[in-house]
Structure 1
Amino acid sequence: MKLDRPAAPDPYGLLPAVPSFQLLSTDVADGKQLSDDHTLDGANRSPRLSWSGFPDTTRSFVVTCFDPDAPTPSGFWHWTALDIPVTTTELSAGAGASDETLPRGAFHVRNDFGARAYGGAAPPPGDRDHRYCFAVHAVDVEHLDLTPDATPTAAAFTLLFHTLARGVVTPVYSR
């Protein structure tokens, strides 16, 4: 069944503006189709991400992946990793597999699949391209005072008050 609905807005375009910084990946690119490596149909591995140019006042990072085009009123959270140390400026491919594969002190909150890890792209078959907004948020505190039991929405709300800058790369995927 083909879903006929308008495209969702850019999720970060709805928030107060913050400066941007460079987010690079050898695995994903703006507007380009995700490889099967990063989907539930394939290897389900988080992509390699690296970043630079963030503010000097940054104290930690949060990495997220959000699908605003999911057929729900609130989109779909695929990945939320919190309290990444400021000394970390790269996550290797597969770093989202578990808390053990993240830098020391960082942790995941449950994605919308229910796992504390990266969950790959899995849009409904036949739906148009979904956007997967991979974002690295430069944060003004070392710890967001959230626990692994927090929801990704609670983490996003808390980030609203602590984000200094953000780098985003948005590949697409459809089945």
Structure 2
Amino acid sequence: MVPDESDASGGLSLRSPAFDDGTEIPRQYGYTNQNTSPPLEIENVPANAESLALVMDDPDALEPAGKVWDHWVVWNVDPATAHIEEGDVPAGADEGTNSYGQRGYGGPNPPDGEHTYRFVLYALDTELDLEPGATKSHLERFVEGHVLDEARLTGTYAP
């Protein structure tokens, strides 16, 4: 879902005041701890964005689970959103079903050592007409061809 380079501003930014890119995600955000989503900061949303979508997943879950584990799927975030507070979902946004089979955030819980977690933010040229509780695969189909820009934040977590 890489944006068309001719249309991408390249400036969209996603950060967290709780951890730096590539560093350890604090324990309280883990599934077996407080299981609350970390605070996020968004900057440089393209002026023509109609909505934002956010996905958190764990590509290291491929072994032994055999698939990327989805932890959080959020869409129709207002493009004027600059902060997502800890444990919060922006007003008007929808949350999907994670790989735990629950709607909303499901924190890191690697069974076999340190995993890397990706937060991917998409600036979209449309709002998404998804059913409540949709999965990441549904979101990915709907955003195809609508991504203006994207930003990534990664963190690690170990049991």
TM norm structure 2: 0.88
- Residues 1-175 of structure 1 mapped to structure 2, 5 A cutoff: 15-17=1-3, 19-70=10-61, 71=63, 72-95=65-88, 102-125=89-112, 127=113, 129-141=114-126, 143-175=127-159
If each structure's strand is expressed as a fraction of its own residues, which one has the higher value?
Answer: 2
Summarize the Cα distance change of 1:162–1:73 in structure 2 as closer, same or farther, 3 Å threshold: farther
Distance 1:160 1:168 in 2: 17
1:53-73: CA deviation from partner (whole Å, max 9, x where unpaired)? 121111111111010110333
Distance 1:150 1:46 in 2: 19
Summarize the Cα distance change of 1:91–1:131 in structure 2 as closer, same or farther, 3 Å threshold: same
2:42–2:81 contact (8 Å) kept in structure 1: no
TM norm structure 1: 0.80
* Percent of aligned pairs with the same amino acid: 29
Q: Mind listing any 5+ residue stretches in structure 1 that lack a counterpart?
A: 1-14, 96-101
One-letter amino acid matched to 2:2 = P
Instruction: Quote how far apart the aligned CAs of 1:74 are.
Output: 2.5
Q: How many residues align?
A: 152
RMSD: 1.6
Distance 1:24 1:34 in 2: 12
1:51–1:167 contact (8 Å) kept in structure 2: no
2:95–2:133 contact (8 Å) kept in structure 1: no
